């Protein structure tokens, strides 16, 4: 006579097995996303780092920027922090805009929606992986610039570097998630990159001080959220800024919260995710 399995260890009907937050599930999905881009790290980490360094070479050597001074700083020191955080933001967007989109195209989106993860847990895991890629790219660029002659990239305010770097990376990661939800093919995601992310990055004051612009263009620059990321991140390295740090920090935080809410609602309703 076989012994019947005991049901004493099973929870009662209606009692959740995972009581509060599925930390294990979030960690598993985040690690899965990190491993995905790390398998092609030459393309996802080192190639963007080299591209960012080429910008530094062009603007400080090829264009004769070695003798220029901006905001009381040598041009190389002025432009370096902006290049670092610009590379971080662009790669946070690239990673997040690929995650859900490739699942939709390949028909594997169910692998994101079926596991016992809440909408918030799914969103946090994807954004965390994208921010991880941004940090790795930023660290690779910073490390290379440490050995670059004539460039001083030792932070004067490390907390400002961390705060604005995370705010900017999170903002672009959330924008990437929203793009991957909306897009139906890679061309759609590329359009957002080419017509939104790239222009806002290049017109954010990375290569110039907005104080030298005409009043209209200066006002447009101050309406660009990328500008506040660049300015705050630069302050962390140089101790000077061309924007109010508290206002910029508050604005970026509000934008991140709004984007997070929009992404949460879109995923919870299954907008363009569920047939």
**Domain range list for the chain:** 24-30+42-61+69-269
Contact between residue 201 and residue 226 where contact means Cβ atoms under 8 Å apart: yes
Contact between residue 256 and residue 174 where contact means Cβ atoms under 8 Å apart: yes
Per the model's pLDDT, the better-predicted residue between 1 and 109 turns out to be 109
What are the tokens at 10? 């099973």
Query: Cα separation of 206 and 219, whole Å?
Result: 16
Q: Which helix (H) or strand (E) holds 73?
A: strand 73-74
SS3 assignment, position 258: helix
For position 5, what pLDDT does the model report?
55
Burial (CB count <10 Å: 0-12, 13-18, 19+), residue 182: middle
* Span 25-36, pLDDT tens digits: 999 999 999 999
Name residues whose C-beta falls within 8 Å of residue 223's C-beta, 6 or more positions apart in sequence: none
In the predicted model, is pLDDT for residue 1 greater than 60?
Answer: no
* Span 200-240, pLDDT tens digits: 998 888 888 887 777 788 888 889 999 999 999 999 999 99
Using alpha carbons, select from 184, 236, 180, 213 the residue that is nearest to residue 228.
Answer: 236
What are the tokens at 19? 């009581």
For position 57, what pLDDT does the model report?
84
Name residues whose C-beta falls within 8 Å of residue 267's C-beta, 6 or more positions apart in sequence: 119, 122, 123, 181, 273
For position 267, what pLDDT does the model report?
94
Q: What is the pTM of this model?
A: 0.90
In the predicted model, is pLDDT for residue 95 greater than 60?
Answer: yes
Using alpha carbons, select from 164, 177, 178 the residue that is nearest to residue 128.
Answer: 177
Query: Cα separation of 39 and 138, whole Å?
Result: 18
Query: Cα separation of 193 and 91, whole Å?
Result: 11
Q: What is the DSSP pairing of strand 73-74 with strand 69-70?
A: antiparallel
* CA distances from residue 17 to 20, 55, 58, 193 in whole angstroms, order as listed: 9, 52, 57, 41
- The overall average pLDDT reported for the chain is 89
Q: Which helix (H) or strand (E) holds 120?
A: helix 119-146
* Span 264-274, pLDDT tens digits: 999 999 998 87
Q: Tokens 């800024």 — which residue? A: 241
φ/ψ bin of 23: left (φ > 0), alpha (ψ from -120 to 50), beta (otherwise): alpha
Q: What's the mean pLDDT in 75-92?
A: 93
Contact between residue 178 and residue 272 where contact means Cβ atoms under 8 Å apart: no
Name residues whose C-beta falls within 8 Å of residue 184's C-beta, 6 or more positions apart in sequence: 104, 272
């Amino acid at each position: 006579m076989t012994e019947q399995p005991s049901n004493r260890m099973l929870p009662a009907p209606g009692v959740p097995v995972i009581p509060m937050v599925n930390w294990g599930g979030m960690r598993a999905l985040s690690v899965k996303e990190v491993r995905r881009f790390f398998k092609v790290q030459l393309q996802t980490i080192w190639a963007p780092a080299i591209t960012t360094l080429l910008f530094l070479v062009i603007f400080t050597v090829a264009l004769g920027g070695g003798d220029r001074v901006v905001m009381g700083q040598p041009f190389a020191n002025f432009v370096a922090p902006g290049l670092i955080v610009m590379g971080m933001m662009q790669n946070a967007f690239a990673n997040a805009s690929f995650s859900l989109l490739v699942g939709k195209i390949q028909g594997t989106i169910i692998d994101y929606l079926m596991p016992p993860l809440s909408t918030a847990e799914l969103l946090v895991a994807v954004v965390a992986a994208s921010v991880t890629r941004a940090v790795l790219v930023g660290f690779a660029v910073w490390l290379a610039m440490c050995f670059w002659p004539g460039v001083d990239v030792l932070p004067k305010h490390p907390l400002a570097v961390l705060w604005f770097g995370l705010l900017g990376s999170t903002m672009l990661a959330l924008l990437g998630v929203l793009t991957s939800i909306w897009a139906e093919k890679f061309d759609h995601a590329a359009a957002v990159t080419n017509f939104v992310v790239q222009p806002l990055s290049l017109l954010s004051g990375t290569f110039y001080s907005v104080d030298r612009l005409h009043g209209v263009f200066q006002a447009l620059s101050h309406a660009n959220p990328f500008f506040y990321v660049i300015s705050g991140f630069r302050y962390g390295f140089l101790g000077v800024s061309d924007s109010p740090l508290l206002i910029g920090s508050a604005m970026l935080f509000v934008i991140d919260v709004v984007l997070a809410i929009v992404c949460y609602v879109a995923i919870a309703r299954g907008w363009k995710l569920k047939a």
